Amino acid sequence: MADRNRIGVGILGAGPVTQAIHLPTLVRLSDTFRVVRIMDVDASVAQAVAARVSADWTTDQAELLDDPAVEVVAICSPHAFHADQVIAACRAGKKAVLCEKPFAVSAEEAARIAEVSEQTGVPVVVGAMHAYDAGWIAAMKNSEALAPHTVRSSIVLPPNSRFEDFATEVVTRPAPFALDLDDPDAVARVVSGGILGLAIHDLPLIRQLVNRVGSTLPADVTVLRSETVSPFGYLVILEVGGVVVELHGVMSENWAPSWHLTAFDDVSALDVEFTPSYVQAGSSTATFAQEGRTTIYTPTDDNGYEQEWIEIGRVALGAAPLIPASVLIDDLAFALDIADKASTAARTAVAERTAA
């Protein structure tokens, strides 16, 4: 297809997420998108990754934002840079911005983004791929009576590199780091990182489920237990709006992934089994059981990554976002609140244990 009919994409940050998720996804959607420029602070990485898609490269954010061929900006940098980059992309007058989750690290940042997005008219889409997952959407449409008393997110994964290597050939990875689980601050970082790096995939979905029966405002979120689990992960038990929510995530060297979001009420049970990140293995498989009957929503070949890029294509052409900014902000506030409360609780527990 002629370049003028395709949406030009610029990407800020060329790490494993860009290499293993967004570039393969954009190749699948090459009738709609073309990558025109990639920026990374590491020139060699920027150049190498851009060469894969015959795009220009730069180490300068402003150069990418000033490029008129860049119509849509994807922000795949470390979390701390997200807010400023989203705002800069909006002010640059782009057609749309896709920001990896979390799109900000504080409620104040989120509010600033919403304000600038509204002022500039540039829509923002958050890369919460499970919110766009076809299996999840089908399950929610067909389980409207489910009013959960219990929700559980359990994510068991091998190290990311296993799946990145199935999706692409990665240049540069973050260095591994040592962990002292007797250090309260280290434990707090593991829990917070787990919530904002892993559980955050499911938190917008959990909020949708809980909102059926109660409030998910910060005042209605109570962390009942928070800790790390071996070999590397978190276990957090919450009460949210009267619903007991369990967040469990483990990364081990074992090859076998298991990613389930489950919800129960007295008469029905929903189980959504997601495919691992990175691997472009299609949508989730959702199972809904009620009154002696189990319905399985057949997985689709396209996954949430494709759907979120299709959404970017829609909003870049002027359609209203499926997920309004107010919901994105509330989702982020929910995630940040849980991460804050859970990491505080985990830190306190370790400090008390080591002091005893």
Sort 354 into a burial class: Cβ within 10 Å, 0-12 / 13-18 / 19+.
Answer: exposed
Q: DSSP code of 175?
A: P
In this structure, the number of other CB atoms found within 10 A of the CB of residue 4 comes to 6
User: 151 or 312, CB closer to other proteins?
Assistant: 151
Q: How far is the CB of 143 from other proteins (least distance, A)?
A: 11
User: 49 or 235, CB closer to other proteins?
Assistant: 235
φ, ψ (nearest 5 deg) of residue 142: -105, 15
Q: How far is the CB of 287 from other proteins (least distance, A)?
A: 10
Bridge-based pairing of strands 285-290 and 268-273 is antiparallel
Q: How far is the CB of 282 from other proteins (least distance, A)?
A: 20
User: 92 or 187, CB closer to other proteins?
Assistant: 187
The Cα 136–Cα 284 span in angstroms is 7
User: 50 or 146, CB closer to other proteins?
Assistant: 146
Q: How far is the CB of 170 from other proteins (least distance, A)?
A: 22
User: 242 or 318, CB closer to other proteins?
Assistant: 242
- H or E element at residue 270: strand 268-273
Q: How far is the CB of 240 from other proteins (least distance, A)?
A: 11
Bridge-based pairing of strands 33-39 and 221-228 is unpaired
Binding site for other proteins (CB under 8 A): 149-150, 156, 224-225, 227, 229-231, 235, 237, 239, 242, 244, 246, 250, 252-256, 264-269, 289-290
Q: Are 339 and 192 in contact (CB under 8 A)?
A: yes
User: 223 or 328, CB closer to other proteins?
Assistant: 223
Two structure tokens written together for 100: 């990896």
Q: How far is the CB of 237 from other proteins (least distance, A)?
A: 5
Reading phi first (left if > 0) and then psi (alpha if -120 to 50, else beta), residue 132 is in alpha
User: 68 or 176, CB closer to other proteins?
Assistant: 176
The Cα 232–Cα 248 span in angstroms is 11
- H or E element at residue 210: helix 203-210
